[in-house]
Structure formats: structure tokens, C-alpha cells
Amino acid sequence: MTTIHKFVSLKELHTFRLPYSAQAVIELTVADDLVALEDDYYVLGEGSNTIFTEDFASSILRVAITGYESYETESSYELRIGAGENWHKLVVKTLEQGMPGLENLALIPGSVGAAPVQNIGAYGVEAAQFIRLVEAWDRQHKQFVTFAQSECCFAYRDSLFKQQSGRYVITYVSFSLPKSWQPNLSYGALSNLSDAVTATEVMNTVIAIRNSKLPDPAVLPNAGSFFKNPIISRGYFTELVVRFPNLPHYQVDDHQVKVAAGWLIDHLGLKGVTCGGAAVHDKQALVLVNKDNAVGADLLCLADTIKEKVQSEFAIKLEIEVRLLNNKGLISI
């Protein structure tokens, strides 16, 4: 049953664990309850990509809808999953049941409902490749809607749900995992694996790589990559690579190149740098961490410092990948 709690600390509800609270938290377990809810809430999953930098002046809607349905066709495994299910548990469960495909996306923190919002991705794979349908509550038109994959406007860490932020409450996500599975070993760190590798072996490798670089939010609070990897023009990249021949990069299309923000920040010597209690992680410079009881201002100061230095050295404007909130809602920096 959907429940409402008043004046709740948000510390346990977002993985960066800043010391703020919300007026109320609505725990949504039944999609149909959305119809009758007073509509003044901010939608949250497991809080692994959202950071509260102040006390939040209205309600938080925590999507906790569970559910796991599956069936198979001649060519695919089809799944319909509740938005409140944990993403990594879904990856493990599909592999245990002999349905490969999601292995490169193992250990990404967060809920299934958050996966389409920022089109989670890792090691050469994006969730959009497997999403077939997204079911949601449209707060603007007050009705349930279903989007086909092609209607979700998926792009690198982007989607319709992010572009029209706040409009949709995702309730269920359907995935299609083709039976004609091939490992995706395109990403540097996986390229040592043989083509005969199993999906479970790929997953275990991904887990080992992530554990070696990315801090466990349960131990060192963080929200994963803080900035996006910037996409720059091929012309500018050609100039830049003369000055920085080792700059890791990935071709986006004929005109654009994505460069590694972690490398840019690392190259400036910023690993381990702090502002108050917030720090640049010392193993992965793209990840900011709450090292020592940080407050919102510490994190904003650290993010500004990084942005300014990257701008002045590389003439590249970093954009945030996380969702930052002040007392009223989303902010951009």
C-alpha cells in the first residue's frame, strides 16, 4: 500500500548522503495510486543519481513498484519489470535464468525505473538497446501512457524522460533480450576476454573492474560519474589531440568525438582535491565523493572549481550528469 511519511531525512534516500530532509516522502507501491495523489512531488528511485544540496520544500515520491514478469518468443526473452526493482538484481536474475544481454550493465546503482531516464550505460552498452516499452504516468495530462523504444528519444545519458524532467513517473519497463547473444567486448577493459566468454564471465569481469575503480556508495557516499563525458567537434578534437596525444576518446559520428572527462580532471592533478567534506575520488576523477560530512555548498564549490579548471585548460564546458536539487527542485550549474 502506498504510504506517506512527514518530515523525513533524505540522508538514507540518496547515495551521496547529504544531511537534508523533505517535507514528506510518499512510498509508491501501486501504480494506480498515482491517479489520486496530490501532485506536488519530486520523483525519486533509489537516489543514486540525485543529490539534495538543501532541505527540500515539498514532497518526494519514492517509486517502490515491484514486479517481474517474463515470457519467451522464438527469438527473444521478454521482460516487464516494476520500476522500483533494483537494477543490479535484475541483471543477476536474468543471467541466472539463462537470459544474457544485460551483463555489461552489472553493478550500476539504482532502480529499474531510473534506467531509461538517463539511459544508463557502461562498457560499450546502453540500456536503450534492450528497452522495448516504458510505461508511465503523465502528470501533465493525468493519464497512463506507454512509450515504444523509438518514442523515448534515447541518446548518450539522455531520454525524453530527462528532457521533460518531472513530467513522467515511470511505473514499468519492458525489455527484449535477443536469443542470438554475442558478447560486447568493444570497451578497452573487456577486450582481453576471448570471444568464447560466457555472459556470466563478462558480468563478473565488469563487477571486478567497477569494484576496483568506483567507490561503493554504502562505504564512501557518491553518485557515480558527476559529469558527462563531453562531446566535441571533430575539428576541435584534432587540435586538442596535438597538445594531448593520450586523451582517451570515442567516435560518436563523422562530426563528433566524445572525450573522457575523468582523464581531463585527472590530467589537471585534481584527484583527491577537496572542498570542505567533498572530494574528487582518488581512483576515478569523474566521481565526486562525500568524504567527510560534506554539505551542499562543499559539493557545489568542488564542482565549480573542476568546471573552471577544465574550461581554462581545455576550453571544454563540462555538464553535470547527476541531478542536483536545491530546496525547490532541479538546478543546473
Between 284 and 290, name the residue whose CB sits nearer to ligand EPU: 284
Q: Should residue 262 be labelled a site residue for ligand EPU when binding is judged by CB under 6 A? A: yes
Q: Contact region for ligand EPU (CB under 6 A) — 80-88, 129-137, 142-150, 258-266?
A: 258-266
Q: Should residue 105 be labelled a site residue for ligand EPU when binding is judged by CB under 6 A? A: no
Chain centroid to CA 167: how far?
A: 18
Q: Contact region for ligand EPU (CB under 6 A) — 52-60, 128-136, 139-147, 259-267?
A: 259-267
| Helix, strand, coil share (%) of the chain residues, nearest 5 | 25, 30, 40
Binding pattern for the stretch 212-241 against ligand EPU, x by CB under 6 A and - elsewhere: -xx---------xx--xx------------
Between 46 and 135, name the residue whose CB sits nearer to ligand EPU: 46
Sheet holding 3-9, edge to edge: 3-9, 21-28, 56-63, 41-44
DSSP secondary structure, 84-132, as one string: TSBHHHHHHHHHHTT--S-GGGTT--SBTTHHHHTT-EETTEEGGGTEE
Between 62 and 228, name the residue whose CB sits nearer to ligand EPU: 228
For ligand EPU, the binding residue among 27, 54, 201, 321 (CB under 6 A) is 321
Tell me if 138 sits within 8 A of 168, measured CB to CB.
yes
Look-up: residue for cell 543477476?
A: 92
From CA 235, how far away is CA 255, in angstroms rounded? 8
Look-up: residue for cell 566535441?
A: 232
Residues identified as active-site: 157, 225, 321
Between 47 and 77, name the residue whose CB sits nearer to ligand EPU: 47
- The phi and psi torsions of 69 (rounded to 5 degrees) equal -120, 140
Binding pattern for the stretch 116-145 against ligand EPU, x by CB under 6 A and - elsewhere: ------xx----------------------
Contact residues for ligand EPU, defined by CB under 6 A: 122-123, 213-214, 224-225, 228-229, 248, 260, 262-263, 266, 284-286, 321
